[in-house]
Amino acid sequence: MKNMKNMMKQAQQLQNKMAKMQEEMAEKTIEASSGGGMIKVVANGKQEILSIHIEKEVVDPEDVEMLQDLILAAVNEALTQSQKMVSEEMSKLTGGMNIPGLM
């Protein structure tokens, strides 16, 4: 019975730490780019896109598909980096244990 209480206490502490980490991740940002820096995307640790910057030189009305591809590449890279950032922080929190349902 005592072990069960300890496990429940540890689970509650982990849950509190995870909630705090999620708040912190919402404040952390990463920037990704494509097209040699012509497209820049900023995302946070909640996998939200916060901003997209497009240099004028990359906008070509005759080649909209290229612009779309560059934006898509930068957004996907920003989300990938954001997920990696959260995963690394979660790994620190859980001591590297893979706990199902946490990510």
Taking the whole predicted model, whether its pTM rises above 0.95 is answered as: no
**C-alpha of 82 from chain center:** 2
Q: Does 40 map to a domain?
A: yes
CATH number of the CATH domain containing 70: 3.30.1310.10
Q: Does 34 map to a domain?
A: yes
pLDDT at 97: 61
Q: Is the pLDDT of residue 100 over 70?
A: no
pLDDT at 101: 54
- CA dihedral of residues 35, 38, 65, 48 (deg, nearest 10): 100
Q: Does 102 map to a domain?
A: no
8-47 tens-digit pLDDT: 888 888 888 888 888 888 899 999 999 999 999 999 999 9
pLDDT at 82: 95
Q: Does 45 map to a domain?
A: yes
Contact 82, 47 (CB under 8 A): yes
73-93 tens-digit pLDDT: 999 999 999 999 988 888 887
Q: Is the pLDDT of residue 59 over 80?
A: yes
Report residue 76 as tokens: 């996907």
Q: Does 9 map to a domain?
A: yes
Q: Which residue has better confidence, 49 or 94?
A: 49
Q: Does 83 map to a domain?
A: yes
Whole domain around residue 47: which residue ranges?
2-94
CA atoms of 73 and 32, how far apart (whole Å): 9
61-75 tens-digit pLDDT: 999 999 999 999 999
Q: How many domains does the chain have?
A: 1
Q: Does 103 map to a domain?
A: no
Place of tokens 């708040």: 23
Contact 42, 50 (CB under 8 A): yes
